[in-house]
Amino acid sequence: MKPDRAERSADAIRELIVTGRLTPGQRLSEQSVSESLDVSRNTLREAFRILVHEGLLVRRPNAGVAVAKPALADIVDIYRVRRLIEVPVLAAGDPAHPGARMMRDAVDAALAARLGGDWRDIAAANMRFHSGIVALAGSPRLDRVHANLSAELRLSFGLLGDNGAFFDGFVDRNAGLLRRFLAGDADGAAADLNRYLADSERTLQTMVDDAGAADAADTVGQ
């Protein structure tokens, strides 16, 4: 079944979130978004409804629709689901599967982005790397679940602002994990991934918590 225009519009908005072009808390104008996607207001409202249901957008009384702003509890749940999906998929993965090519391409893109000093491109490549892991399962339904999860995760990253150090730290870990997987040690790669996700979660929680505390201090000081 082909997706309808509302679903395609929701996909386009989701991609804007994943690539960081829409940020947490950003208000969305129906007019500007409908014009940029070349869809009617009714189609866009249906797309908004889909994304509100997924938790990527929120409706605010008398203020329209805005991009969601994840809380620390959301981050904990996102990583819980990531571990449930990514770790066993990688452990059962086949290095000859096309998903492995997605992982290789993502590592190459991240290394190139690091040379260019563009943390947004590094973040986007990191998201594609993990999408490649999930693609190893060969399940379109799992891919869809992970796509939504990736968008929620990207919103969590958006809470950090222009902090490239967080993303740069995982470029080499992605490369090392990939080497181990391609060498035929899927179980070892999965164990590395489990530790990787735990480290990522702890670091993200700390940085988001610190960013929130700094924002609160600035507000009190005004």
pLDDT confidence of residue 162: 61
Instruction: Convert the pLDDT of each residue in 88-97 to its tens digit.
Output: 999 999 999 9
Instruction: Convert the pLDDT of each residue in 152-164 to its tens digit.
Output: 888 888 777 666 6
C-alpha 64/C-alpha 213 separation (Å) is: 27
Mean pLDDT of 55-60: 90
Q: Report all structural domains of the chain as residue ranges with CATH numbers, in order of start.
A: 5-67 (1.10.10.10), 72-214 (1.20.120.530)
Phi, psi of 27 (to 5 degrees): -80, 140
- Tokens at 24, concatenated: 């947490």
C-alpha 110/C-alpha 116 separation (Å) is: 10
Mean pLDDT of 67-72: 88
C-alpha 209/C-alpha 49 separation (Å) is: 30
Task: Write the CA distances from 127 to 29, 53, 147, 157, 174, integer angstroms.
Answer: 27, 22, 9, 11, 11
Instruction: Convert the pLDDT of each residue in 198-214 to its tens digit.
Output: 999 998 888 777 655 44
pLDDT confidence of residue 155: 86
Instruction: Identify the helix (H) or strand (E) that includes residue 210.
Output: helix 186-221
Average pLDDT, the chain: 88
DSSP letters, 121-167, are HHHHHHHHHHHHHHHTT--HHHHHHHHHHHHHHHHHHHTT-S-HHHH
Mean pLDDT of 51-67: 89
Compute CA 9 distance to the chain's CA centroid, rounded to the nearest angstrom: 18
Write down how long the chain is.
Answer: 222
SS3 9: helix
Any idea what the Cα angle at residue 85 is, between residues 167 and 182, rounded to 5°? 70
- Tokens at 198, concatenated: 């735990």
Whole-model pTM?
0.80
Asked whether the beta carbons of 159 and 70 are under 8 A apart, the reply is yes
pLDDT confidence of residue 211: 59
